[in-house]
Amino acid sequence: MTTFENLFGGAATVDAWCPGRVNLIGEHTDYQAGLVLPVALSLGTRVELRPRGDDTVRVFSAGQAAAGVVSFRVSAESKRGDWVDYLQGVTAAGRAAGLRMSGFDARITTDLPVGGGLASSAALQVALLRALRAGLQLPADDFTLAQLAHQAETTFVGVPVGWMDQLACSFGDPTHALFLDTRTLAWQKVALPDGLRLVVIESGIPHRNADGGYRERRRQVEEAARLLGVAVLRDLSPADLPRVMRLPDPLDRRARHVITENARVLAFRQALEAGTREQLGPILAAAHDSLRADYEVSVLEIDRLVAIATSVPGVLGARLTGGGFGGSVVLLAQEQEAAAAAATVAARYQRETGRVATVVVIQP
């Protein structure tokens, strides 16, 4: 048995959990100081932990059971190129921030699909930080934990992500969308409409932020902003699109996506607050079209999954969610039809593509 007691010869003293997140809308905007609208999931990552009296870290992950118990030393973190780097990044970031870090034993479990585009890495890091805060009595609030997790992923792991995932995991809850301005890091909770269900379906094609496509898109929008004479594309609005479209291809389309996506986030929030749910589906459809054609981060299977979903009765709209190149789609569906619609979408997708789609969660 791989219980904490069997692994480490005693009981854990801390148990911490952190949700994953699904992004309703606002994709590839956070690293251009843009707007996002994620929702915390009812799924997440749990860390059982017991501090040690030395600088040794011993960790077991149920999702990496074949690796057994892995170890490293606090103050001697060294990048390995695997999942352990996300943990080493946390202790390295904590030390860099002046927090007292020591060794620990930890057991990690999750019901988030790794590679599903649902912030599994941010959930892991924030859950570990919550456990360390309790176990080591660290003087850090939830915002500080989000900052440390972001620092760990960008600096140590080396993935140039924006702020959305860590803040959504730290502050989100499953019944509200989190309207987040990544320029100011100000956020506001927006209630989700009664009678609707949020459905996440994983495509069977893993998404990896660390791969080159994400970095290339980030470089392209940074170059577009430079050529347009602004610090970030958040400084522009749809009124600027005529001059944006004079940029060389594909920079014109990359910039158009970011600018129009920020506008879609505002429109989506307004529709949620006004209760005009008939507007939600078309906004999701426009967002997916932009990710597919302008940002080019979708794949044929994801496009097919979205097309199937939007043709099923009870589904208001669907789009790719997460960084892209695989991962998951998010659907909004009528409450009474959500479960049947999700099952129909998954079955049709498997018949048409030969890939297995997994219904990850259905939640208010």
**pLDDT tens-digit series, residues 242-281:** 999 999 999 999 999 999 999 999 999 999 999 999 999 9
Is residue 294 classed as helix, strand or coil in its secondary structure?
Answer: coil
Question: 211: pLDDT confidence band, cut at 50, 70 and 90?
Answer: low
Domain ranges within the chain, ordered by starting residue = 4-189, 192-363
Phi, psi angle pair for 225, to nearest 5°: -60, -40
What is the second-level CATH architecture of the domain 192-363? Answer: 2-Layer Sandwich (3.30)
Mean pLDDT of the chain: 95
Tell me how far apart the alpha carbons of residues 261 and 314 are, in angstroms, rounded to a whole number: 25
**Residue 67: its pLDDT value, please?**
92
Q: What is the pLDDT of residues 216-239, one digit of tens each?
A: 999 999 999 999 999 999 999 999
User: Is it the case that residue 323 has pLDDT exceeding 90?
Assistant: no
pLDDT of residue 212: 75
What was the pLDDT predicted at 152? Answer: 97
Q: What is the pTM of this model?
A: 0.90
- As given in the structure block, the two tokens for residue 357 are 């789609």
- Percent of the chain scoring above 70 in pLDDT: 99
Q: In whole angstroms, give the CA distance from residue 23 to residue 178.
A: 9
Predicted confidence at residue 206, as pLDDT, reads: 82
Given a cut of 50, is residue 210 above it in pLDDT?
A: no
Highest CATH level, class, for 4-189: alpha beta
What are the residue numbers of the active site? Answer: 165
- What is the pLDDT, as a whole number, of residue 114? 79
Contact present, 20 and 118 (Cβ < 8 Å): yes
**Window from 17-21, 188-192, 207-211, 333-337 with minimum mean pLDDT:** 207-211
CA atoms of 10 and 3, how far apart (whole Å): 10
Question: What number is the average pLDDT over the span 19-45?
Answer: 95
Q: What is the mean pLDDT of residues 174-191?
A: 94
Q: Tell me what percent of the chain is helix, strand and coil, each rounded to the nearest 5.
A: 45, 25, 30
Residues 76-128 pLDDT 10s: 999 999 999 999 999 999 999 999 999 999 999 999 987 777 888 999 999 99
Beta strands in 5-147 (DSSP E): 14-25, 35-51, 56-61, 70-73, 104-110
pLDDT in tens, 54-77: 999 999 999 999 999 999 999 999
pLDDT band at 209 (very low <50, low <70, confident <90, very high): low
Q: Which of 94-108, 112-126, 190-204, 324-338 is predicted least confidently?
A: 112-126
